[in-house]
Amino acid sequence: MIGLISATAAGATARDRLAAAWPDRTRVYDGPVGDAVRAAFAECEQLVCFLATGAVVRLIAPLLGDKRTDPGVVCVDEGGRFAVSLVGGHGGGANELAVEVGELLVVQPVVTTATDAVGVPGLDTLGFPVEGDVAGVSRALLDGEPVALEAELAWPLPPLRVSGTGGSYVIRVTDRAVEPAEHEVVLRPPSLVVGVGASKGAPVDEVVGLIEGAVRDAGLSLKSLAELATVDAKSDEPGIVEAAQRLGVPLVTYSAEELAAVEVPNPSEAPLAAVGTPSVAEAAALALGGELLVPKRKSERADGRPAMATCAVVRRLARGRLAVVGLGPGARDLLTPRAKAELRRAAVLVGLDQYVDQIRDLLRPGTLVLESGLGAEEERARTAVAEARKGQAVALIGSGDAGVYAMASPALAEASDDIDVVGVPGVTAALAAAAILGAPLGHDHVSISLSDLHTPWEIIERRVRAAAEADIVVTFYNPRSRGRDWQLPKALAILAEHREPATPVGVVRNASRPDESSRLTTLAALDPATVDMMTVVTVGNTATRDIAGRMVTPRGYRWQAARAAQEVAE
């Protein structure tokens, strides 16, 4: 919960804007400011104070305890110009909150945390447990001193500006139970899966003790525990459920049929008779592959009675991460926050050179950029997947939405299930153009590319004809180029067989970019020679109208029926 505190009318206005935008995330604290700050500090994970920074410093100074547990505090000035991350920049999330507040209130976020200020990811913000000399190694990264990355596991990380090997400072990525050396940081990736089986009524202490002992005896760290896994029949077994809660990890379950298909070294008749699979602990741990580090192990009871729990430990395979990111139509303010976050997270960026230029300033220092020119789409897709298979965090960028005439389909055609793939939606050219024209997509609509480089014209023509006969609004992508000048006239002629010459047509070039242009014309008046590859052409249906210079397609057909009745009456 985010506590909101203000002292003046201007502050209250900005405060109420946040409260309205985030009703489920915020709580307004009224009354004397000192009492409000103290109450919010005790009850909330974060605070946004619409007060002077000096006043907030004095109010929270007696309340500060530990940066790992104190709430993050952001100050917004009286003039509504800045959102200052005051305390808890990393641990309390104040840096990210300042950016969010800045975007919502249209104010400048101010982040003075050294790593964030220069674009280097904080070692305590990577989403992994971290131990060791975080401050010393971070300072070495900032000062440009040699910092070695010793990754025992090839886990996807953002660019860290490391020097490879050598140097007095070290970042170690491991799930082993090692103590950090001097000038060393240890990152604990979530690499361990523990499969668990238990008899009905198995005590949670017995289950947890078994897991902790198995991990400890194997020389591993519980901080790298990713999940517990078991059979569906045990999904509500209290000892297993509570063990997952106590260890702070999710509980994943599989059907008996799925587990029976997993090859294990120690099958048994007992679980086969009880739940339908010859293995629970080992099979559940190995269900998604990996290296078996601790074979099936039974719990030991002090009273000498039979064990009620079994477990096995697997190191799951490190998986690269491919984010397929849509950049939107070009304007920076139409680039989504999620897309920005993925660009900052990527250690490798793959994209068309002109798109890379659009967002180069958003990349962290040290990001490996692999760019190429027009016509190399399949090569870029293969490159991005290959980099992800190396265990890298990769972003593959495309304009608009990456899944619409862009990079997602060739990338996913190339990728298999050995990497994680994340899709990041973007504002499409059709949507950007529609917003400029008015509301042409208010009813059913379809997008059709007129480029026959990848699709035979016979198929394109059949699709255009189907849209024409179905009376659907059509947005044409790639309508015309110097080498393809006859497709658009042909497509318009097909539509003209089913629509009146006065049907509204919207033409938008470079939507959302500095040289944006748009015009509203008709099906009969459109000159295809005025259209190029940077243009989106939207042709209305029989209900689409030009209203005050805006292209509008009604959501229903009652309007059309009323107009027809009026025309008959006239």
Counting other chains too, the contacts that 497-501 makes at CB distance below 8 Å and 24 or more residues apart are 497/468, 498/468, 498/469, 498/471, 499/468, 499/471, 499/523, 499/539, 499/540, 499/541, 499/542, 500/542
Copy the structure tokens of residue 34: 């000192």
What is the structure's pLDDT at 120?
63
Task: Summarize pLDDT for 206-251 with one digit per residue, the tens.
Answer: 999 999 999 999 999 999 999 999 999 999 999 999 999 999 999 9
Whole-number Å distance between alpha carbons of 493 and 496 = 5
Residues 6+ apart with CB under 8 A from 424: 323, 324, 325, 326, 336, 338, 339, 342, 402
The per-residue pLDDT for 203 is: 93
| Other beta carbons less than 10 A from residue 128's beta carbon | 18
Helix (H) / strand (E) element for 551: namely strand 550-552
Q: Tell me, rounded to whole angstroms, the distance of Cα 91 from its chain centroid.
A: 20
The share of the chain scoring above pLDDT 90, in percent, equals 53
For β-strands 438-439 and 550-552, DSSP reports them as parallel
Which residues of the chain, if any, have pLDDT below 70? 113-121, 124-125, 163-167, 557-570
- What's residue 77's pLDDT? 86
Alpha-carbon span 539 to 43, nearest angstrom: 55
pLDDT at residue 117, rounded to an integer:
53
How far, in whole angstroms, is CA 110 from its chain's centroid? 24
For residue 306, the Cα-to-chain-centroid distance in whole angstroms is 47
Residue that is written with structure tokens 């998604």 in the block? 288
Q: Strands (DSSP E) along 303-431, which ranges?
A: 309-315, 321-326, 348-352, 368-372, 393-398, 420-424
Backbone torsions φ then ψ of 153, nearest 5 degrees: -125, 130
> pTM of whole model > 0.75?
no
pLDDT value at position 121? 65
Give 93's contacts (C-beta < 8 A, 6+ positions apart): 45, 46, 72
* Burial class for 229, CB neighbours closer than 10 Å (0-12, 13-18, 19+): buried
CA atoms within a 13 Å half-sphere pointing along the CA-CB vector of 350 = 26
**For residue 454, what are the contacts with CB-CB under 8 A and spacing of at least 6?**
none
- Give the pLDDT confidence of 548-558 residue by residue, as tens digits: 999 999 987 66
**Closest to 47 in 3D by CA, of 115, 93, 105:** 93
pLDDT confidence of residue 558: 64
* pLDDT value of residue 167: 66
Question: Residue 482, SS3?
Answer: coil
Cα distance between residue 295 and residue 143, in whole Å = 46
pLDDT at 166: 61
58 to 38, 53, 345: CA distances (angstroms)? 11, 9, 36
